[in-house]
Amino acid sequence: MENFNRLNDLYFKKLLGDKNRKNLTLSFLNAILNKDEREYFTDITFLDKDNEPLTLDGKLSKLDIRADLNDGTQVDIEVQVCPFKFMAERSLYYWSKMYSEQLEKSAEYKKLKKAIAINLLAFDYLEDEQDWHNIYNLLNVKSHNKLTDHIEIHFLELPKFTLKDMRKIRTSEAWLAYFSGRYTKKELEEIAMTTPAIKEAVEFENTFLQDKIERRAYEQREKAIRDYYSYMSAYKEEGLEQGLKQGLQQGLQQGKLEEKFRTATNLLKMGFDIETISKAVELSREKIQELSEKK
């Protein structure tokens, strides 16, 4: 399929969030986390079963693959297609939830395990960084000594990625090349010859696209992304508040509280602030705050 978006959340989750293909998830994680043969993660247990969108056209709800690795490490993989200026804050928030939820199993701090957040972005986010892969830890601002290795946040920015040498490709580069969508079928075949996981991913992609139900779901999610960009264009041209009202006019019916709640929830997922949403859907700020806490 021409212009197939491998970052489509439904497709991505079926590729790397399914226990039947956990070998691919492990390949991706070991490569991105730069694990050598002595440190390879050998097993993974997926925890994320409750984060699917409420509706199929749930706009741009984030993809969130949560998992435990064989040494107890917690990992969260998020894909973000549309530009979002609060990625750092959101990633830190979800990292903190992932880390703190470990205490449900035990109240002893010494049993807390490392938590890793990986953000795969289809846009430039870190303006002051040139590399496509940047890793953040908790450091002393003077000595740069690490306080703890329990926090690790990765940003993978696809627009900054360039494959320098097809003959000396690393597994991490192979995965980024695959997800970038910038390489031809022939080039992917060359990459697959040196990276078996990519060969398997390409084979799964072909099977996915031949399934009419899966392909239809994929196309609906792509339509949601196009709609989002259309709305954003309206906001820029006509002003944020007015653009919101006009862009959502067809979907927002006066007097139908459930429709207002659903629209407000989608806008929260897009990252709009409470004040703007309150004005756009004509609900109180208190009610929007309640929805924000529930999402």
Residue type, 140: N
Task: Please say whether the beta carbons of 176 and 156 come within 8 A.
Answer: yes
Assigned token pair, 249:
């006019």
Pick the residue with more confidence: 234 or 100? 100
**pLDDT the model gives residue 231:** 67
The whole-angstrom separation of Cα 137 and Cα 147 is: 9
Pick left, alpha or beta for residue 119 (phi over 0 → left; psi -120 to 50 → alpha; otherwise beta).
beta
The whole-angstrom separation of Cα 12 and Cα 118 is: 14
Highest-pLDDT range among 39-48, 178-187, 250-259? 178-187
The whole-angstrom separation of Cα 249 and Cα 265 is: 16
The whole-angstrom separation of Cα 5 and Cα 15 is: 13
Give residue 123's pLDDT band: very low, low, confident or very high (50, 70, 90): very high
Pick the residue with more confidence: 1 or 254? 1
**pLDDT the model gives residue 248:** 56
Residue type, 194: T
Whether the per-residue pLDDT at 164 is higher than 60: the answer is yes
* 65-80 mean pLDDT: 90
Give residue 243's pLDDT band: very low, low, confident or very high (50, 70, 90): low
Q: Mean pLDDT of all residues in the chain?
A: 83
pTM of the model: 0.75
Give residue 221's pLDDT band: very low, low, confident or very high (50, 70, 90): confident
- Residue in 67, 72, 154, 149 with CA at minimum distance from that of residue 113: 72
**pLDDT the model gives residue 238:** 57
Instruction: Give percent of the chain with pLDDT exceeding 90.
Output: 47
Assigned token pair, 69:
């690795």
Whether the per-residue pLDDT at 53 is higher than 80: the answer is no
**pLDDT the model gives residue 127:** 93
Whether the per-residue pLDDT at 252 is higher than 50: the answer is no
CA dihedral (156, 15, 220, 123) in degrees, to 10, reads 10
